[in-house]
Amino acid sequence: MKIVAGIDIGNATTEVALAKIYENNIEFLSSSIVKTTGIKGTMKNINGVFKSLKNSLDKSNLKIENLDEIRVNEAAPVIGDVAMETITETIITESTMIGHNPLTPGGVGVGVGETVKIDKLESVDKNKDVIVVIPKEFDFEVSSKLINLYSDKLNINGAIVKKDDGVLINNRLNKKIPIVDEVSLVEKVPLNMKCAIEVAPIGGVVEVLSNPYGIATLFNLTSEETKHVVPIARALIGNRSAVVIKTPKGDVKERKIPAGNIEIVGLNKKAFVGIDEGAKKIMNAINSVNIVCDVKGEPGTNVGGMLEKVRHVMSNLTNQHPKNIKIQDLLSVDTFVPQIVKGGIANEFSLENAVGIAAMVKADKLQMQKIADELTKSLGVNVNVGGVEADMAIRGALTTPGSNKPLAILDMGAGSTDASIITKEHEIKSIHLAGAGNMVTMLIKSELGIDDFELAEDIKKYPLAKVESLFNIRHESGAVEFFNKALDSKLFAKVVILKPEGMVPIEIDESLEKIKLIRKSAKERVFVTNAIRALKKVSPTNNVRDIAFVVLVGGSALDFEIPQLVTNALSQYNVVAGRANIRGVEGPRNAVATGLVLHLKEE
């Protein structure tokens, strides 16, 4: 006899299925669920695993010492990092930015000073901080000699060079400085202006100038001025070198950071698409590449900064080099972003066309093995990495009463949507796609112009009503409910969220109908889109119509309207879809954890 635990580390929750395996039988003892600690697939998950495991053991009056084996899912480290990329370009005034990612900048570090043309160094006051501007008529030998000559008199802290001479100049300097070269429009660099330059080491990226507070520190900006440099900092994320120059008001009329282009790298082909072409064109480009190996953003653009941020966040969490972090899927959705109207007197804003993007990092089984090894060491119990998450989920889904092979599942979580299909011969095919509950919350948050993520999450999860008087409310379905006791006067005439613990007012000036429409539309754009996309990929013929039965599992399958939206959409393909009931008791939850235990028994 063995006591085993299957543990599913998800984006939002960590679930446990505890079971006893003896002879050829399996008896499930208990289950538990807690909030996932840290980003899925990282070492911070261990705290959540401990808590969920302890809860499950306590329910069965067991202790850690009674466990014979633990199986954890082969979790894809997912950053459902979602960014809003405006289709129109971001306009920056009173600042300029140049030096977008030359291949071979010189030196390393951050330098701050006043921009001075190299042939004007002799007229500069002694001990002044200087950034040298070198036009094309000065070659590397002359430039390096002049910098060395004046370095005793001046604090030469960096250089901006027209030609590809950064390394050649740096190699000849007595004092090493950061140098950005290949600046084609060096003649446009404003002179005698405060300038900051940064060059990262080989393999690194700029950290100071890609941080709005870093720029604020170097330029002594006020909090109001710092707001204006956010687009600059964002566009510089992922660059190896950067230059930011502060110019007098009106001197630089307009600088634009474009939304940018993305490159989808497949096994046998590449696809390119601009963010300004909209979500449909982006998804067509993604779908045109059979197996996505990586997605790259154009350097110096908004989308480039967003995708590089995904890589670097996961790099820091997993101790891998950013170049080894690959984006395996991307979901884009057309949406709107509220933009403050410049010159407004009451924070007026207008809705601007934008594209919402969810990116997902490729799974790394080695990372999950590290978590398993750490758990083995801490618990004194053998912890192994089980199979692919979607494969485990389909095993769990088959415990739903009335289900049988062949069967397809949709596992709809917080960060990703997975699909898996099992044939009568027990062959399994699965897919893991970006975009799920978190992206829906982000769309609601953006389109309603609210800052509170938790409020947007509640709007997503619960139905709405309008408080028409202190004694009645009208539900979003149109039904009227009366109360014997007067409601809180603070709720009068408000749109409220009907949470189990009570009514929560939504403090925005929008009608119930509009909030409901935005909520429903966001769910359709993410879950219906991903459901059809995922099922096409696992279908033997790439046709959803060839799948007869689909079971919905995962946290988002508990939502009060997502299953109906997905079921209605799939009915157009003659697909029978419904919410799972794992082991007849768990509802749509615990599918992966249950599948891990069943897989262990199979072995």
Please give the torsion angle defined by the CA atoms of residues 45, 46, 52 and 54, in that order, rounded to the nearest 10 degrees: -170
Which CA distances in Å does 269 have to 266, 280, 291, 323, 362?
5, 20, 9, 20, 18
The partner residues of 144 in beta bridges, in order of sequence, read: none
Q: Do residues 408 and 92 touch, judged by C-beta distance below 8 A? A: no
Q: Which residues are annotated as a binding site for ATP?
A: 11-13, 457-460, 555-556, 589
- Cβ neighbors of 496 (< 8 A, separation 6 or more) are 464, 465, 466, 467, 473, 503, 504, 505, 506
The DSSP string of 557-569 is: GGSSSHHHHHHHH
Burial of 205 per CB tally in 10 Å (0-12, 13-18, 19+):
buried
Binding site residue list for Mg(2+): 104, 164, 181
Q: How far is CA 490 from the centre of its chain?
A: 37
User: CA 247: distance to chain centroid?
Assistant: 34
Terminal CA-CA length for the chain: 15
585 — phi, psi (to 5°)?
-135, -20
Residues marked as binding?
11-13, 104, 164, 181, 457-460, 555-556, 589
Q: Which two tokens stand for residue 45?
A: 């998950």
Using the 8-state DSSP alphabet, how is residue 580 labeled?
Answer: -
Torsion region of 410: left, alpha or beta (phi above 0 gives left; psi -120 to 50 gives alpha): beta
Residue 234 DSSP SS3: helix
- Please state the φ and ψ torsions of residue 590, each to the nearest 5 degrees: 75, 15
- Calculate the alpha carbon distances from 567 to 279, 336, 359, 442 in Å: 23, 27, 26, 23
- Contact by Cβ (8 Å): 434, 418: no
Rama region for 70: left / alpha / beta (φ>0; ψ in -120 to 50; rest): beta
Q: How many helices (H) does the chain have, and how many strands (E)?
A: 16, 30
**To which residue do tokens 């449909």 refer?**
280
Q: Which of 193, 98, 198 is nearest to 158 (CA)?
A: 198
